[in-house]
Amino acid sequence: MTTTSYLVIGASHRTCSGVVRDRLSTDEAEVAGMLDRLRAAGVGQAMWLSTCDRVEVQAVHERPNEAALAVAEAMAERAGLATADLAPQLYTRTGIDAVRHLFAVACSLDSQIVGEPHILGQVKAAHRSAAAAGLTGPELEAVLQAAYAAAKRVRSETPIAEGATSLAAAAIQVARDLHGDLGRCGALLVGMGDMGALVLEGLREAGLPRLTVAAPVDRRAEAAARRLNGHFAPWADLEAAMTGADILVTAAGLGRYILTAPMMEAVLKRRRRRPVFVVDAAIPSDVDPDVAGMDGAFVYDLADLERVALQGRVGREAATQAAWMIVDEAVGAFARDRAERAAVPAVAALRSHFETERRRLLAGHGDLDAASATRLLVNRLLHAPSEALRALAADRSGEGLAERAAAERLMFRLFGLDRPTGGTGLELSERDKDERREPGREVR
C-alpha cells in the first residue's frame, strides 16, 4: 500500500537573510503561478506560504525527498539563484516533524515575535489559494484543520498573544508622550516584518493619519501600502521619505544597518531637529546604535518596548511553554488519529477474509453441527498464520529469531491472548486451544 508523508521546505528568518527572503517573497497574485509550478513538478497537495518571516511550502507526497527537490528548484527559480546556492539556506521537515512545524507556525510559536496575530490569517489565506488551485487533498486538509484547532486552543488557553499586542500598545504610548496628538503625525514603515506592521496598525487605530511604506523590494512595499491604506516610497528615495516621518518603524532585518548615524544626522538637520520616534522592530537590528545618542532621535527596540509594557520575560516564557505543551499534545493526538485511520483497511481486509472463509465452509459443509462447523472454521482461519509461524521457527538465524519473536508479540497483542507459562507460544496454533474462547467472538 502506498503511503504519503507530510513535508515542509522553506526559508525563514532563522535560516536565511532578509535579502533572500525578499527575492523569494510572493504577492497574493503570484501564488497561483508558484502553485502551478509545483503541480507541473508532480506535487499534487501543496500550499505556498509567503509572509514577512518566511517563504515555505507545506505539502503531502508519496516520495518526500523527490518533492523537496522539486520545491527547492521552484524556490531557486523564484529567487533567481542556482538550487545549489539556495539549498544551504533552506530547512526541510518530513513526517511528524513537518506536522509539528506547521502547528508551531499556525500558533505563532515560530515567528520573530512569538504570539504575533497575523500568521494564522496568512496560513488560512495560503490554504484558500491552494484550494482554489486544486492542490488540497484529504491529508493536507486534515493537518491544516488540526493546526487551526491547536491555534485556537493556544489563543484561548494561554496569554501568548498579549505579549505582541502589548508591545504595539507600548509604542503608541511612547509616540503620544513624544508627539502628543498623533493626528498631526506621519509615519514611515521601513521593511515588511510582522512586528513593524503590527505597530503601524496600532498607530493607525490610535489616530495616525499619514503612513508611507518603503522596502528593499518596491513591489512588496506597494502592495503593503495598498493594504495599509498608505503611500509608497521607492527604496532609492528612502532618506527623503524619512525626512517627513515623525515616527519611523524599521522592520527589514537585512543583517546590516539601514538607518545609519550619518543618514539620521542628515534627516534631523533637514527636520530642524524636530524629534523622531524610532521603533527598531527588526531582528537583527536595522538601526545603528549611535543613532540613539543623537539629539532629536528617540530609539526604542523591542526590549525597550517590553519594559514599557511591563511585560516580564518570565511571564512570556511561561506562556510560550504552555503553548508548546498544547502543540505537542495536539501533534500527538493528530498522529494517533492518522495511525488509527491507516489501520482501517487492514482491519477491513481481515474481516473480509474471515467472512469469506465462513461462507465457503457453510457452502461445502452445511450439514455439520455447530461444534464441528466452528472447529473446522477455526482450523481454516489458523492455517495460514500457523504455517507462517512454523516457517519463522525453522529459521534459527539471529534475524529469524528476532522476526519470530516480533510476530508472536504482535499475535498476542492483536488477539488479546495471555502468554503461556511454558513453551514458545507456537503451540497455540498447533493445539486447538482457541476452542476455549467464546464462540462467535467478532474481530475488532
Is residue 107 annotated as part of the catalytic site, yes or no? no
Torsion sign across C-alpha atoms 320, 322, 326, 332: positive
Among 16, 52, 107, 185, the active-site one is 52
Is there a contact between 196 and 251 (Cβ–Cβ < 8 Å)? yes
3 state SS of 301: strand
Q: What is the DSSP letter of 442?
A: P
Is there a contact between 34 and 48 (Cβ–Cβ < 8 Å)? yes
Cα diameter, the chain: 109
Is there a contact between 289 and 297 (Cβ–Cβ < 8 Å)? no
- C-beta neighbour count of 410 within 10 angstroms: 10
- Alpha carbon distance 367, 168 (integer Å): 84
Phi, psi of 63 (to 5 degrees): -125, 85
Using the structure block, give the residue that is written with the C-alpha cell 526590549.
Answer: 303
> CA angle at residue 67 from 64 to 68, to 5 degrees?
85
Please give the positions annotated as active site: 52
